[in-house]
Amino acid sequence: MPKRKPLFKRVVLKLTGESLQGRKGAGVDLKVARSVARQIKEVKELGVDLACVIGGGNIFRGLHAAEEGMERVTADYIGMLATVINSLALQDALEQEGVFTRVQTAIEIQRVAEPYIRRRAIRHLEKGRVVIFAAGTGNPYFSTDTAAALRAIEIGAGAILKATKVDGVYSSDPHVDPKAKKFDHLRYIDVLKKRLQVMDATAISLCMDNRLPIIVFDLMRPGNIKRVVLGEKIGTKVS
């Protein structure tokens, strides 16, 4: 049987911070981080360039803190620092799997990571390294969804792979509504009009303007990142 070829040469994997906490109420479950690292290694073995963007919601949610009275800019910067913690944890898990990894942050923290430099990031990818983009865009009021879209466009990625805890995009929360309908394919404009929880409006608009597809899939099933890269029809595609 002929070997299947990857659908994409370069992708950005968007992970939520909650995806790293596993069954813990907060923080990083190292078993989960290692499981994600093994899935990323499978994709790297296909010869695909892979970069990651991770949220920080398992440690701190800037928007929630702002709603409770914290100054929004301060809250967002704390959230950015939370993404750096998650990025370093994933880097460690990847390197234990033998995958060379670099963390680049939009906020300079030279003791622990490189500053984000587009050309350097592309060079790392060309050398076969995984690059983890931390600290969002480096600006308050912008989410890690927007950072994923921006970085994907900057490095010339073929798609954003949005890893979640459900197997695609639904008309409503499938954990609450048994009649929730799953979508196999959506247009960007439908996501915006229906206010579907895929990525925030800024990220969707960036992807729409640059014709960058988003594939939403279940991270909890081992091997799914590889399946998406190989073009299997899983999850929901937004294009």
User: Span 9-18, mean pLDDT?
Assistant: 95
Q: Phi and psi dihedrals of 188, rounded to 5? A: -55, -45
Q: What is the pLDDT of residue 21?
A: 87
- Look at residue 122 in the predicted model and tell me its pLDDT: 98
Average pLDDT of span 17-35: 88
Contact 238, 214 (CB under 8 A): yes
- Provide the CATH number for the domain formed by 10-238 in this structure: 3.40.1160.10
Mean pLDDT of the chain: 93
Cα distances (Å, whole numbers) of residue 28 to 22, 24, 90, 141, 234 = 8, 8, 9, 25, 27
For residue 26, pLDDT beyond 90 = no
What tens digit of pLDDT does each residue of 85-142 get?
Answer: 999 999 999 999 999 999 999 999 999 999 999 999 999 999 999 999 999 999 999 9
Ordered by start, the domain boundaries in the chain are 10-238
Cβ-based neighbour number of residue 190 at 10 Å: 14
**Is 153 exposed, middle or buried, given 0-12, 13-18 or 19+ CB atoms closer than 10 A?**
middle
Q: What are the residues whose beta carbons fall under 8 Å from the beta carbon of 170, sequence distance 6 or more? A: 177, 180, 181, 182, 183
pLDDT band at residue 173 using 50, 70 and 90 as cut-offs: confident
Q: Encoding tokens for residue 184?
A: 């196999």
Reply yes or no on whether the pLDDT at 77 is more than 80: yes
- Of all residues in the chain, the percent with pLDDT exceeding 70 is 99
First to last CA, the chain: 31
